[in-house]
Chains A and B, each alone.
Chain A
Amino acid sequence: MSTNHELAMSSYVGIGVGLMAIVCIEVVLTFQHLPARTLLFSLLCLAGLEGFVAIMYLMQVKYEKPILFWTVFPATLFVLVFLCYLWPDAFRMFNMRLMQ
């Protein structure tokens, strides 16, 4: 079980402030009127960074045994990437109907 005492509460407040700062950067980027793909890529990268910090520190994975990280996250990421890979086929199905 996690020990939960590696960081003082003030450090967690600092992490919370840091996460909020990333959200502010996301909002600033949004109103720079970037091309949609650039904006999407930037927002996903920043959200990924936020997610990583939240998983490691708020969900305390950093203080669990490393086996949790290595069994859970690569597999989940694989499933998510595979979902992304398979979704376009859902559109292809519209063109696979039998002709009457």
Chain B
Amino acid sequence: MAAVPQHEVVMEPSPYAMDKKKFGMWVFIISDACTFGAFLFAYGYMRVGAPVWGTPFGMSSIVNGMVMTAVLLSSSLTMLAAVRAAQTSTKAKTTKWLGITMLLGAIFAALHLREWIKLIGEGWRLFQNPTGGAAQFGACFFSVTGLHLTHVVSGVIALAFVARGLNQGRYDESHVETVGLYWHFVDLVWMFVFPLMYLMNAH
């Protein structure tokens, strides 16, 4: 009886030549970019359509926003250091950089919440404008910045999971690289949110 031929499983290599986790993260980033795009376009049309719009941000808020930007940019650099450490160095060093990134993310979230508390203290609500202008300002501002803040907090939690998994030997450098890609995206979104939501509404 003739032997049954053994077939090898032939897998075509990915044309992107990248890890599937990372490719999955790219797909998520594309869809998330469209979500933020939709929010920002909706805000843009409402802002243009309203005859009187709220401009609640003075110099102190803008300086606060610049500090937040600097913190988030620094966290992107520490994330790059974490990815590099994961590829070339020890777990301890990678965990250290991931820890610093988480700390910077937490500082960003705290500064963001401080700005929110200040605005709420001044009477701004989701559908309430204390200056008498368009009531939609609060809805736009709290929605867009809240969505971004949710991403930052989610990113900090994801970084903590990856750091823990890395130390337990369950995760490797590809996980660090994938979560790093997400973190840079959060930074990228802020580069559009800050000028559009803060600077366009400065008095």
Which A residues form the contact surface with B (CB < 8 A)? 1-2, 4-5, 9, 12-13, 16, 19-20, 23-24, 26-27, 29-31, 36, 39-40, 43-44, 46-47, 50-51, 54-55, 58-59, 64-65, 67-68, 72, 75-76, 79-80, 83-84, 87-88, 90-91
Contact = CB atoms under 8 A, between A and B. Distances in A.
A72 B181 contact: no
Contacts of A24: 66
B161 interface: no
Given A39-B200, A54-B187, A83-B41, A4 B73 contact: no
Given A27-B66, A91-B49, A83 B80 contact: no
For the residues of A in contact with B, the DSSP-based class is helix
Interface of B: 15-19, 22, 26, 30, 33-34, 37-38, 41-42, 45, 49, 62, 66, 69-70, 73-74, 76-77, 80-81, 83-84, 87, 174, 177, 181, 184-185, 187-188, 191-192, 194-196, 199-200, 202
Contacts of A80: 33-34, 37
